[in-house]
C-alpha cells in the first residue's frame, strides 16, 4: 500500500473544521496518508483559500456552523463549482452523493475519490 501511495501525485485536501482539536486530528491523519493539507475554520475562509490554492477536495463536517453556507458558496462559485465537498460519516456503509455532497465512511474512500478524480 505504501508503494501505491508514493506513486500517486500529491493531492491537496482543504479541511474546514471549526474545532481546533478535530481539525488537527483530521489533518494529521490525512498528512500520514500523503496528502497536502490546507485548513480553514469557516466557509468564508475556506472559499478564500480554495480560490488561491485550488485544493482537490474540501473535507468538512455536518456540525460546522457555516456548513450550509460552505456548500452554497462552493457550488455557486464560478471557478469552484466542480470542486468536490465531502464529509466522513462513520455510520455510512458506502460512498454516496447527496445534494452535491460526497458522504464517505472512511479515509480509504477519500483516497479512492481523490484517485478517481485525478484520472
- Cβ neighbours for 69, distance < 8 A, ≥ 6 positions apart: 43, 44
Q: At what angle do helices 43-53 and 67-76 cross, to 10 degrees?
A: 30
Each residue of 28-82: pLDDT tens digit?
999 999 999 999 999 999 999 999 999 999 999 888 999 999 999 999 999 998 9
Ramachandran angles phi, psi of 36, nearest 5°:
-85, 135
Q: How far apart are CA 37 and CA 73, in angstroms?
A: 20
Q: Please give the CATH topology (third level) of the domain spanning 2-117.
A: Rossmann fold (3.40.50)
pTM of the full structure: 0.87
Structural domain spans, the chain: 2-117
Are the C-beta atoms of 84 and 57 separated by less than 8 Å? yes
Amino acid at each position: 500500500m505504501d508503494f501505491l501511495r508514493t506513486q500517486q501525485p500529491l493531492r491537496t485536501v482543504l479541511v474546514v473544521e471549526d474545532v481546533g482539536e478535530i481539525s488537527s486530528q483530521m489533518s494529521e491523519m490525512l498528512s500520514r496518508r500523503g496528502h497536502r493539507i490546507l485548513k480553514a475554520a469557516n466557509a468564508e475562509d475556506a472559499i478564500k483559500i480554495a480560490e488561491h490554492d485550488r485544493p482537490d477536495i474540501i473535507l468538512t463536517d455536518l456540525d460546522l456552523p457555516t456548513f450550509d453556507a460552505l456548500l452554497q458558496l462552493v457550488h455557486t462559485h464560478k471557478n469552484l463549482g466542480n470542486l468536490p465537498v465531502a464529509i466522513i460519516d462513520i455510520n455510512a456503509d458506502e460512498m454516496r452523493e447527496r445534494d452535491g455532497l460526497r458522504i464517505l465512511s472512511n479515509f480509504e474512500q477519500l483516497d479512492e475519490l481523490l484517485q478517481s478524480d485525478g484520472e
